[in-house]
Structure 1
Amino acid sequence: MKSEIRKLSPEQHEEILRTLKARFEKYMNRHKELEWAKVQEKLETNTDKLWSLNEMERTGGEPDVIVHDKQTDEYVFYDCSAQSPKDRRSVCYDREALESRKKHKPQNNAIDMAADMGIEILTEEQYRELQGLGNFDTKTSSWVKTPDNIRKLGGAIFCDRRYDTVFVYHNGADSYYAARGFRGMLRV
């Protein structure tokens, strides 16, 4: 995407900050030792990241701060919507999978969508970390970053929560379902 597209209007800028602050305050259990003022200061100096957070919000991800990485001095945001983000579902795993489909191609793929938004798809470890903060994907599932050895064989992995347990499954990378999307993360 072009850099001029990655700018928020002053109104969008204020709105996403209000939304993030309200969510931060509502879900303090996700980041007990963090202060909003410090998070906001980082966001104000990284407007490209604020654009990405707005994209996460716009597509239904409900991003929230999960942790402060002291080594890199970055705040880490994850999609925290109860179910896989609504406007990021019905996608296959990556471009190779999308191009390999002969019929009934989905509109997009998880890896390219994440890159276009300036975010990364969650890893299995990050997904499990998120699940430690609440019950997510109880009716949906989310693609997660697939190890190269699985992807080379045509597969991809996804996760969900059923029976109070986080499950990791596999599928052909070219598969897509109305209830499967992806969750992203962003470092600011």
Structure 2
Amino acid sequence: MAKSNSDSLKKELSPEECEALLRVLKERFENNMHRHKGFEWANVQAKLEAKPDKLWSLREMERTDGEPDVVAYGEETNDIIFCDCSQESPKGRRSVCYDREALESRKKHKPENNAIDMATAMGIELLTENQYRSLQKLQNFDMKTSSWVQTPSDIRELGGAIFCDYRYGHVFVYHNGAESYYGARGFRGSLRV
């Protein structure tokens, strides 16, 4: 499903790309019903077809190895919520620092990008700590990697950022300098449709 970077710059999918993506999403949906009990694929597909910009964002999640899937329903907003469900933090989004300020603060060995800008460009949002914990109730993720999560402003103002992983049967929340980056740390995103 990987596409070149030039393909990812256009924010509209061709009919063939839409069809291919919907096939992948449907198969994942049907193979992981424990993530979305009570949902029907026909309803999900109808919502997706009505919002082609969301399909583009889902394709970006897929292109960066996020393996997006339906994980919740927003009753107040009538939204279906997709989240990255790759077993480990998405490979195409690792080795990034937290945000642009952190990236610009590095004098040497800058990473190629940062989590906040990447998520924004993809049309998704980093998970909050609570969303990350909810995702872990569906199945265990990040048992070898970790993922940046939305950082409270008071922590970020002091130069820090937070990330999570799952070890020893528990979700752990850690802190690091926002400018840090590691090959085993990326970020998970969510998308409301």
- TM-score interval w.r.t. the shorter chain? over 0.9
**CA–CA distance in 1 between the matches of 2:103 and 2:87?**
27
Which letter maps to 2:111? P
| Superposition RMSD in Å | 0.8
Deviation per residue, 1:48-102 (Å, 9 max, x gap): 0000000000000000001111211110000000000000000000000000000
Count how many residue pairs are aligned between Structure 1 and Structure 2.
185
2:169 to 164, 170, 178: 164
Which letter maps to 1:149? D
Which letter maps to 2:180? S
Deviation per residue, 1:134-165 (Å, 9 max, x gap): 11000000000000000000000000011111
- Report the equivalent of 2:43: 38
**CA–CA distance in 1 between the matches of 2:180 and 2:157?**
15
Q: How does 1:38-57 map to 2 (within 5 A)?
A: 38-57=43-62
- Report the equivalent of 1:122: 127
- Report the equivalent of 2:112: 107
In the alignment, structure 1 residue 144 sits paired with structure 2 residue 149: yes
**CA–CA distance in 2 between the matches of 1:77 and 1:42?**
12
Deviation per residue, 1:87-138 (Å, 9 max, x gap): 0000000000000000000000000000000000000000000000111000
**CA–CA distance in 1 between the matches of 2:148 and 2:32?**
24
**CA–CA distance in 1 between the matches of 2:38 and 2:86?**
22
Percent of residue pairs bearing the same amino acid type: 70
TM-score (norm 1): 0.97
Give, in angstroms, the shift of residue 12 of structure 1. 1.0
In the alignment, structure 1 residue 26 sits paired with structure 2 residue 50: no
Which letter maps to 1:107? E
Give, in angstroms, the shift of residue 27 of structure 1. 0.5
Unaligned segments of structure 1, at least 5 residues: none
**CA–CA distance in 1 between the matches of 2:136 and 2:73?**
18
- Report the equivalent of 1:67: 72
Which letter maps to 2:72? V
Give, in angstroms, the shift of residue 9 of structure 1. 1.5
**CA–CA distance in 2 between the matches of 1:71 and 1:138?**
32
Instruction: Give the ranges of 4+ consecutive aligned residues of structure 1 lying more than 3 Å apart after TM superposition.
Output: none
Which letter maps to 2:85? C
Which letter maps to 1:103? K
